[in-house]
C-alpha cells in the first residue's frame, strides 16, 4: 500500500520550517548589516589613503572642502574635495555608502561629465564632484573657503594635534533636510541639494549656536565651543522634522548613526574605525579637533571654558 504524509505531519513540517525561518532571517539581516558596515569602513580607509596621497603631493596641505568656480557664488558651479581627491581614488562608487538609504546625495548643480572640470558656464553650470555622495569632511581640517574673500584658510597637516584622534571624514545624515537647511530648488517646496557642505563639531557659544567659519563674525570670536552630546541630539531630532534648522550647529549634517548604535569615521592619519557619535564629542577626548585649524588655530573649549582634551 502506498504511503503518504498525513495532514498532521505536513503541518508539523511547515511549522518547523516557519520556526527555522523566524530564527534565521534576523541572523541573515544582521549579517547583511555587518557586511554593509564593513564595506563602509573600507570606503573610509580608501578615502583616508587618498587624502594622504593628496597631501603628499600638495606640500602636506589639506584640500578645501569646496570653492566657487567663479569666486563669486554657486551659479557658476562648485569644485569639491571629491574632485581634488578623485585622481587618488578613481572610483565614484567609493563615495557612496552601502548603508545610505538614498544611495548618496546629488550635487547642487548636475555633476560635470569630467569630475576635474574647473571651467564655469553660467548657462549650464555643473559641479566638479562625484555624481552621488554619502560622506563629508571636517571643516577644522578641510575648510569651507568658498571664495578668496572668505576668512577660512587651508590647513597644513603638520599643525594638527594628535592626527590619530582627529576626525577627517564622516557620513552625511540619512535625512536630507538636515543637510539642506533652507536651501530650495526651482520650486518653493523642493530642497536644493547641498552635498558639498563640510561639517564640524563646534558651536559659537557654550550653550549652542552655529559656527560656519565663512564670515567675519565667526572669525572674530576668540574661541569656539565643543558641541555636547545633548546639543547634538537636539539638533539631529530638530532637523529630522524637516523644518529650517539653519541655526543649529553643523554637527547636524552628519546625523545620529548610520549602523545601529554608531557610525564609521575616517581619521587624519588615514585609519578608520566605528564608534558612537557621543564618544566623538567627549570633551576629555574630543575627536573634532583640539583647535579650529582652518580658523587660525582658534581654540576649542568645553562648557567650562577650558580647552578640550
Whether 2 has a pLDDT exceeding 70, the answer reads no
Beta-carbon contacts of residue 94 (< 8 Å; ≥ 6 apart): 43, 46, 47
Distance CA 296, CA 6 (A): 81
User: Tell me, what's the pLDDT at 96?
Assistant: 98
User: Tell me, what's the pLDDT at 27?
Assistant: 65
Distance CA 24, CA 20 (A): 6
* pTM of the full structure: 0.90
Higher pLDDT, 73 or 155: 155
Residues 234-264 as b/e (b if ≥16 CB within 10 A, e otherwise) read ebbebbbeeeebeebbbbbbbbbbbbeebbb
Band the pLDDT of 6: cuts 50, 70, 90: confident
3-state secondary structure (DSSP) of residue 39: helix
Question: Percent of the chain having pLDDT more than 70?
Answer: 95
Whether 186 has a pLDDT exceeding 60, the answer reads no
Beta-carbon contacts of residue 300 (< 8 Å; ≥ 6 apart): 202, 223, 224, 225, 226, 286, 288, 289, 290, 291, 292, 307, 308
User: Tell me, what's the pLDDT at 242?
Assistant: 83
pLDDT in tens, 94-149: 999 999 999 999 999 999 999 999 988 888 899 999 999 999 999 999 999 999 99
> Is residue 84 within 8 Å of residue 128, measured between CB atoms?
no
Q: What angle do CA 272, 80, 82 make, to 5 degrees?
A: 40
Whether 191 has a pLDDT exceeding 80, the answer reads no
Distance CA 289, CA 161 (A): 7
User: Tell me, what's the pLDDT at 188?
Assistant: 56
Largest separation between any pair of C-alpha atoms in the chain? 96
> Alpha helix locations (H) across 90-194?
176-180
Distance CA 140, CA 126 (A): 27
Band the pLDDT of 273: cuts 50, 70, 90: very high
Q: Specify which residues 149 forms β-bridges with.
A: none
Average pLDDT rounded to a whole number, residues 230-240: 94
247: left (phi over 0), alpha (psi -120 to 50) or beta: alpha
**Half-sphere exposure (CA, 13 Å, Cβ side) for 115?**
19
Whether 185 has a pLDDT exceeding 80, the answer reads no
User: Tell me, what's the pLDDT at 189?
Assistant: 59
User: Tell me, what's the pLDDT at 28?
Assistant: 63
Distance CA 34, CA 231 (A): 29
pLDDT in tens, 29-80: 677 888 999 999 999 999 999 999 999 999 999 999 999 999 998 888 999 9
77: left (phi over 0), alpha (psi -120 to 50) or beta: left
Average pLDDT rounded to a whole number, residues 282-303: 97
Nearest in space to 132 (alpha carbons), one of 81, 92, 172: 92
Q: State in Å, rounded, how far the first CA of the chain is from the last one.
A: 83
Higher pLDDT, 76 or 201: 201
Q: What does the block give as the cell for 104?
A: 548618496
DSSP classification of residue 269: T
Amino acid at each position: 500500500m502506498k504511503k503518504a504524509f498525513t495532514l498532521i505531519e505536513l503541518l508539523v513540517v511547515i511549522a518547523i520550517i516557519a520556526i527555522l525561518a523566524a530564527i534565521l532571517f534576523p541572523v541573515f539581516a544582521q549579517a547583511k548589516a555587518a557586511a554593509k558596515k564593513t564595506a563602509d569602513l573600507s570606503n573610509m580607509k580608501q578615502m583616508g589613503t587618498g587624502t594622504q596621497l593628496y597631501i603628499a603631493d600638495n606640500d602636506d596641505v589639506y584640500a578645501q572642502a569646496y570653492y566657487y568656480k567663479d569666486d563669486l557664488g554657486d551659479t557658476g558651479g562648485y569644485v569639491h574635495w571629491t574632485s581634488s581627491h578623485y585622481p587618488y581614488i578613481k572610483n565614484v562608487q567609493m563615495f557612496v555608502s552601502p548603508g545610505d538609504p538614498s544611495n548618496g546625495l546629488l550635487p547642487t548643480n548636475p555633476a560635470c561629465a569630467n569630475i576635474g572640470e574647473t571651467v564655469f558656464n553660467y548657462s549650464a553650470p555643473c559641479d566638479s564632484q562625484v555624481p552621488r555622495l554619502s560622506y563629508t569632511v571636517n571643516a577644522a581640517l578641510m575648510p569651507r573657503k568658498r571664495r578668496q574673500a572668505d576668512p577660512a584658510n587651508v590647513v597644513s597637516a603638520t599643525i594638527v594635534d594628535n592626527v590619530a584622534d582627529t576626525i577627517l571624514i564622516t557620513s552625511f545624515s540619512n535625512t536630507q533636510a538636515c543637510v539642506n537647511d533652507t536651501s530650495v530648488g526651482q520650486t518653493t517646496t523642493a530642497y536644493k541639494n547641498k552635498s558639498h557642505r563640510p561639517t564640524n563639531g563646534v558651536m559659537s557659544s557654550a550653550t549652542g549656536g552655529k559656527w560656519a567659519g565663512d564670515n567675519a563674525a565667526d572669525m572674530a570670536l576668540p574661541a569656539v565651543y565643543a558641541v555636547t552630546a545633548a546639543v547634538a541630539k537636539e539638533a539631529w531630532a530638530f532637523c529630522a522634522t524637516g523644518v529650517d534648522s539653519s541655526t543649529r550647529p553643523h554637527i547636524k549634517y552628519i546625523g545620529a548613526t548610520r549602523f545601529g548604535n554608531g557610525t564609521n569615521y575616517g581619521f587624519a592619519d588615514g585609519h578608520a574605525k566605528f564608534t558612537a557619535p557621543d564618544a566623538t564629542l567627549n570633551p576629555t577626548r574630543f575627536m573634532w579637533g583640539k583647535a579650529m585649524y582652518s580658523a587660525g588655530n582658534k581654540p576649542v573649549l568645553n562648557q567650562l571654558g577650558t580647552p578640550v582634551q
